[in-house]
Every structure is written in C-alpha cells, then in structure tokens.
Chain A
Amino acid sequence: MSYDPAAESVSIARLKPSYGLFINGDFTVPSAHDAFVTLNPATEAPLANVAQGSGADVDRAVKAARKAYDTVWSKTTGAERSKYLFRIARLIQERSRELAVVETLDNGKPIRESRDVDIPLAAAHFFYYAGWADKLDYAGYGANPRPLGVAGQIIPWNFPLLMAAWKLAPALAAGNTCVLKPAETTPLSALVLAEIIQQAGLPDGVVNIVTGDGSTGAALVDHPDVNKIAFTGSTEVGRLIQQRVATTQKHLTLELGGKGANIVFEDAPVDEMIEGIIDGIFFNQGHVCCAGSRLLVQESVADEVLRRLIRRVDQLRVGDPLDKNTDVGAINSAAQLARIKELTEYGEVEGATRYTSTCVLPDKGYWFAPTVFADVAQSHRIAREEIFGPVLSVLTFRTPEEAVAKANNTNYGLACGVWSEKGSRTLWVAERLRAGVIWANTYNRFDPTSPFGGVRESGFGREGGRHGLEAYLNV
C-alpha cells in the first residue's frame, strides 16, 4: 500500500543558525568559543551550530545555579514554584508543534511519535510535578522535606525533550536548581526549552543548559559544588559515573540500559499482542532503554506468532521522519548505526535466523531496516547485549517458570511485558520478574504519575509519580 507524502514543514521548527549556552537566564558564548554541528540524521544535513561547553562553562553554570539556589529558589514557596512549573507546562503545550518538528529533525524519530508522545508527555510531566511543588508535605517523606541543592542532570538522545522534562520537573518542584547537559547529537529541543524557560520568567540561574559532548558531562559529574547527579544513558557510562561519585557526598540516581523481555503466552490476545510486540521494539527505532528487545514466546504458538510478526514488520513504513505516515524513522547517529550493524552481524555469525524488512531505505542519512532474529539462544550477543536499534530477538519457552527464568537471565532489569488473557498468571509472572516496570497486555506506556526506573544494572532511582520526588529530596 502506498500513500502520498504528508511531510511536516521544516520551517515550523524556526531553527536558528547557532545556539549559545543557557547560563543564568541568558544565552551566552562558550568560554573557548567552541562549537559543533548537530545533524539531521535522516539527511546528514547540518541543522545548527551548538556550543561546546567546557569545564569553565560548566563551572559558570554551577555557580549560577548555586547563586540562584541560595538567593532565590530556596526562598521561593512551593506555591510560587508550582505556578512557574505550570507556566512551563502551558508554554510547551503552546509551542508543541514547533517542538515536535525540532525533535524529529534533530533526533530522526517519526513526527507522529514526537507529536503524539514526546511533546505531550513532556508537558504532562511539568503539569504533574507543578502540582507537587506545594504538596511536598503530603508526599510521604515527612513534614517539610528539603531539596538537595544544585542538581547536575545528564540526558540521552533518544527522547531529548521528554528526558529533560523528566529531570527538570521533579527537581524544580522539590526546590533544587539545575544544570542540564543534553546529549551531543540532540541538543536543540532543550535549547527551545531554554527559550520557554525565559518566557516563563523563571528566575535567572534556576535552570542552566550546557550543551557539549561527554567531556562536558564529565565536568558536571566532577564539579565539587554539585549536590546531586541524575544520569540517563548507557550502563557503561553509568558505571563510570557511579565510580566517580562514590568518592564524594553527591546523591546519585541512574537510569541505564535494558534488555526487556516481552513474554507471550499461548492464550494472549493475538492482534493486540502483535501490535504490542511491534510497538515494544520498533517504537522510536528501538532507541528505547525499556524496549522489548527479547521476545519470549510460548512454543505452542511460536511459529504462528513469528509468521505474523514478519508479515507486520514488512508493512512498517520506514523513511522520512517528517512524514506523518512514517512508522520507523532514522537511526540517530552514524556511531549508533555502526553499533547496530556490528551486533546484527554477530547474530548471523552465532547462528540466529535473520528476517529483515524489504522496505527501501533512503540514500542519505542513517538507516536500518526493521529486523527480527529467530532461533536465538540465550548465549547469543543479540540476546544479552542492548542493541538500541530496531532489532528483535525471538526465543521460546514452554512453562511459566521457564519464561521467568529466561526473562530474568540478564544483568539488566528495566522493563518486561506479559501477554496473556489470564490475569492471575500475569500477576504470578510479574511477581517473579526482576524489572522496575512490567506491562501487561501493553508495552511502552509512560505517564507522569507512574514511577519508571530499573533494578540491577538498569540503575536505581525512579522518575515519575510520588516516588520520583525522592530523587531530589534530602530524605
């Protein structure tokens, strides 16, 4: 089936040729006058020049945050903080179409997802935590819980604005000031958020946004006047950060990788289950830490599920992320594409059976066709390592005990899915899964009221819900 193109207009993004660092309420020139180019991964065309924040810039940002904390924000009542956050939520809603286009240009994700998921959820997150700012006494941490101080927050490239919202909203609600470091390949929506923060009239220095690469993040982690580090990203980097923070008094929360199991029992509702598996792994090109990247399917229905999955994968529309009909967009970077290619090549070498969508990929940009591996063994790299791409590994099981054992056979523990019409069994399985989030007959659902986060090497701390406040309170 073919559709006429229905592309969103690039001009809606209102991109500027270059962006400075957002420090103390203003866009400022980086101290070393360094900049890098952020690309559109779908075309490899440059989008804008972005400042490379140095250690000195991070220091300026932390000083601004400290001053704002001491002189303004720690003296601002919860009710007043609340109203600032409501303003930010409203401004995100008002500028949602612009933000969606910016996000899709910079990240490569389909506009349908940035428009319907990333941006509305980011606004909802600010709305939710706005309501907590004047209710901290009721949050279950005792009377008058205190903030931590200055929070350093480092976010990934897969949901750039949403991750900024997940970090900033609870931190500000709890009374902290922030220095946010967006991902190197996706800084733009955070910089639009900086404009929004200006429009909201947030006091100078309460939020500072310092763009840059890993060295910028490292400078933030190591800064002696930061009270809290919150990091979302790979387990590998999370480990390094935990080591560096271990020699200090800093508080730490980590939201790291995953190798989520989507467990399908023979009585699962078939149509919903197929769509759920597809959504679980191909949503956002599989650049999702909680992706259902391992499908565990009961042997009695494995052939049928695989047949239907492969047919469905072939129907996924891969291409221009700005096209409203696109299902799967561009891989975010050349480096990520290389990683996906390396691991999928291992999949074939180690003996798994590969099915790849016959879709036609664009000539320019970073692309990877949706791929399913059958006959995967638990020892295979594609069953153990996080691919972070549109690649599904299919394994089978016979009994609920075996499903649980296989699902838990990983160092990660972020999310799992269970598909069955039998509620009692779903709950039996859920009790035994070692994962921070378990979806039953659905997958990849997010809501500001629902705590999200991992166990084991998927990290610690929760984002969302009443629980998400704990990460930013001295309790």
Chain B
Amino acid sequence: MSKSRVDVRKTYKLLINGAFPRSESGRSYEVTSAKGAFLANVAQGSRKDVRDAVVAARGAQSKWWSQSAYNRGQVIYRLAEMAESRREELAEHVALCEGLSKKESRSSVSRSIDRVVWYAGWTDKVAQILGSSNPVAGPFFNFSVPVPSGVVGVIADQESSLEAFLDAVFAPICVGNTVVVIASEQRPTPAVLLGEMTATSDFPGGVLNIVTGITGEIAPTLAQHEDVDGLDLGGLDEAFETELAVSAAGSIKRVLRSGHDDPASLRRLRAFVETSTVWHTIGQ
C-alpha cells in the first residue's frame, strides 16, 4: 500500500439554476493560491453563461419572494448550518486564496457564518424597519412596504473571497431578490464552495447563480442586461465601476457603488428594495 494517498481533486464549476454546469464555452482558466501555487482550473464563464444565469434568476424570483419571510429566513439559516459543518474546508480555501494564516482564515469563516445568521434574521424584520403607515390628511389607510427590486447582478469583491462576497450576495437575497454574481476572478473557490452549500440548504434553484470567469470580459454583459434590475459594483476599480454604472443607466438599474464603510449596514439591505405604497379608503 502506498503511504500517501492521491487525493481526489474537485472540478470548480458554475452555479446556474441549481445545477453545476461547466461553462457553455468549454473554457477554463487557472487559479493560483496567493503564493502562486496551482489551485484549480476554474470554469471560465462566458457572456452566454451570464445571460443564462439572468434567465434562471428571473425565473426563481417570484417563487423566492412568494415564500413567507419566515421560510426564507429558515432557508438562509440552513445555509449557516451547512457552512458550519464545512468550516475547515472554507477556511483552507480562504487561507490559500487570500494568503492568510490558519487562524486568520478561521476567524474570517466564523465572521462569515455569523453574518449568514445575521441575514437569516433579517428576512422577517426588514418590513418592520423600512415599512411604515403614513398618516395622510384624508380618510385613507396608507401604508408602505418594501418589496424586492427583482434580479440583482453583483460584481463581487476581488480581494475578500468569502466575507465581502457573502455580504454582497445575501443582503439582496434576504430581502427577496435573486442574484447573479460574478465571483472574484483570482479568488473564486470559496464562493464556489458556498454555492455548493446553498444546493443543500433548501434554496430554490436560481435564487443564487454564480459565474466564475474573467471579470473584464463578462461584467459588462451583466451591467447592460435589460432584465437585471439592480447592480452592485462594489468589487471593481474606480474606472471600470464608472464605466459599468454608465452602461447600467440604459435600463434605469438601481446601482450600489463602492465606498460604503460598514458592509453589513442597512444601506446594503436598502439598496435593492423598492417602496410600494397602498392607499385604501376608510368610510362606512
């Protein structure tokens, strides 16, 4: 018997509509650790993959939003349970991708899982913070409720492979949006792992879609897509961010720009909700 077993390596694929396809283009690209060692040949998503992901997200959105807020909270909490049991694996990848020590990467994973729990608790509270009844001067009952924007495109942070990715993705999901995210180009594996965990957490297929690939190539497709309602550009350099923000104006997208201090602030939760106001008469 040989002393050291040859380990089975994983193929890192896309997540679209609950399935894990390779890129339709058949391409892949090499990802290395922060120290330059070979890590994986990651699927190199194409513009077509991005468009497929948007179709999946659109298809899932009404179903995700029609589930009760309580139910959505339980689904997100289930992800925390799944992630907790795979924390070592996550930490290993965060360490490799970000060049962190074991201890630092474990803390990063702990913060990330706690953040998932944080979002799980928001699903049925957002309406109580952002909604209102409005005392209009007339015989009307007038109230405003927050509703999701719809499909949100996210260009994930290039540096923070798990923590920033998670905030950018689960803030919009927790308020009822579905998401297409382009993962960090050079550090995509923690995001792919998290995507795999959502597949065993009762998320309906299409709520979270992850495309790995060359950001500069595929991000414009997401930014310009007519059926994308919101766009988080927080993970880009300033020039590219501005360029995409300009192109997003074509379909009047809600755009979240970089530069917010607290990643878990209400600003992020508010970024992709609309306010829907109802007037109802009062009278005998």
On A, residues with C-beta under 8 Å from B are 79, 82-83, 86, 124, 127-128, 130-135, 138, 140, 400, 423-425, 427-428, 431, 448-449, 465-466
Contact = CB atoms under 8 A, between A and B. Distances in A.
B77 A128 contact: no
17 contacts: A82-B117, A83-B114, A83-B117, A127-B73, A128-B124, A132-B121, A132-B125, A135-B118, A138-B129, A400-B284, A424-B280, A424-B284, A427-B281, A427-B282, A428-B284, A448-B124, A466-B129
Contact of A124 (B70, B117, B122, B123): B70
Nearest to A399: B284
A425 B32 CA distance: 67
Contact of A431 (B114, B122, B282): B282
A427 B284 contact: no
Given A83-B117, A86-B117, A449-B69, A131 B124 contact: yes
Contacts of B69: 449
Nearest to B141: A427
B216 interface: no
Contacts of B77: 86, 127
A427 B138 CA distance: 13
A130 B121 contact: yes
A79 B114 contact: yes
Interface in B245-284: 266, 280-284
A124 B114 CA distance: 20
Contacts of A428: 282-284
A423 B125 CA distance: 26
A132 B129 CA distance: 12
Interface residues of B, number: 23
Given A82-B117, A138-B129, A466-B128, A131 B122 contact: yes
Given A400-B284, A424-B281, A135 B125 contact: yes
B102 to A, nearest CB: 22
Contact of B70 (A128, A135, A423): A128
A140 B131 CA distance: 12
A131 B121 contact: yes
Interface in B143-167: none
Contacts of A131: 73, 120-125
A465 B125 CA distance: 8
Contacts of B70: 124, 127-128, 448-449
A453 to B, nearest CB: 16
Contacts of B281: 423-424, 427
Interface in B66-98: 69-70, 73-74, 77
Contacts of B129: 138, 140, 466
Contact of A466 (B117, B120, B125): B125
Given A86-B77, A127-B74, A131-B73, A79 B118 contact: yes
A16 to B, nearest CB: 30
Nearest to A124: B70
Nearest to B77: A86
Most buried by A among B69, B121, B128: B121
